[in-house]
Amino acid sequence: MSPKVELLEPAAAAVAAAMGVARRVRARFDPGHAIAKADTSPVTVADFAIQAIVAIALEEAAGAPPLLVGEESAAALRDPARADELAAVVAAVREVHPDAGAARILAAIDLGTHAGAHADGFWTIDPVDGTKGFIRDAQYAIALGRIVHGEVVAAVLGCPNLGRPPFRPDDPHPSEGALFVAERGAGCWQRRESAPGGSGRRVRRRPIDPADEAVMCDSVSQGARTTARRAHLLEAGRVRFRSIGLDSQSKYAMVARGDGDIYLRLPRPTLPVESIWDHAAGTLVALEAGAAVSDLDGKPLDFGRGRSLRSNRGVVACAAELHEAILRGAATIDLDPFAVAGQG
């Protein structure tokens, strides 16, 4: 793979290094150091450290601070009561950038507060996508995407606990994680975490028979109403399926490799609009492996509307052979999240 997108190789190296840091931070993880954000979701030392590691790497490679849309900001770490967490973040970042001080690390994290939708393009990062999976030492991902004119043009997706196929939910601790590098029009490649600059192997989905039982990648913690609506959608589209549970954009990697066939996100009251960092890297990995990706109306995902996918309703990533049937099923359900108050 000869990348056309500038900084793709430094980005891949940074994500690979961050995978190792995440694994080591998790090994000494203290649940008391998880911080509850405004939406009650947890953020950990690893979230902050990885956003800083990648931001500093991009800045050093480009010679200027990157335009970065990230999930985290450093506000909580500036609270004197969080001195222990800040010290842990600094120690983790210094595993990759040994000369980085606290001030530089906090500034690097805050680069992620960019509004997005910039004419020159920008990067978006979810430093630990699937933080609950990280806390459980199960599936999580480090997701970095490059967006130009509303399209994801390059992606790096690091999945520290995703081993070689076939995926086994009871064995989430491979000796080395999976690193996916994708570029629009140039394919998707799985590289070794220990050799992020290597060529790796190309990831391509094999065609499936749409009449066969498909594998649905579901979230581990998912409300009964969400489960019922997804089941109704697939049944309405006459798609036979069985479910496996895992967190994060690892689901996109599963669909890309053929370990899974369907990943759905329906609008819900707690998240009526998706954030771009939750999907940018994964969508390109899946697309370049031959999967179909759209919203539930069949529209391409528009990453040029700021920090959210506000012009799209939900997300579907699936085997191309199932896409039309899933969209037919989506047309039969009410996609207004507030029409199903109380959905989990």
Indicate which residues carry an active-site annotation. 47, 131
How would you class 188 by CB atoms within 10 Å of its CB: exposed for 0-12, middle for 13-18, buried for 19 or more? buried
Per the CB < 8 A criterion, the answer to whether 329 and 318 are in contact is: no
Which strand (E) or helix (H) includes residue 132? Answer: helix 131-136
Per the CB < 8 A criterion, the answer to whether 93 and 56 are in contact is: yes
How far is it, in rounded angstroms, from Cα 229 to Cα 235?
10
Closest by CA position to 261, among listed 231, 216, 326, 298: 216
Q: Give the max Cα distance, the chain.
A: 58
CA distances from 215 to 163, 218, 228, 236 (A): 18, 9, 16, 17
- Quote the distance between the C-alpha of residue 25 and its chain's center: 19
- Show Cβ contacts of residue 295 under 8 Å, excluding neighbours closer than 6 positions: 301, 309, 312, 313, 314, 315, 316
43 is written with which tokens?
A: 């953020």
Residue type, 13: A
Per the CB < 8 A criterion, the answer to whether 248 and 270 are in contact is: no
Sign of CA dihedral 317, 41, 144, 253: negative
Q: What is the DSSP string of 153-197?
A: EEEEEEETT--SSSP-TT----SS-EEEEEETTTEEEEEETTBTT
Neighbours of 163 (CB within 10 A): 16
Neighbours of 252 (CB within 10 A): 33
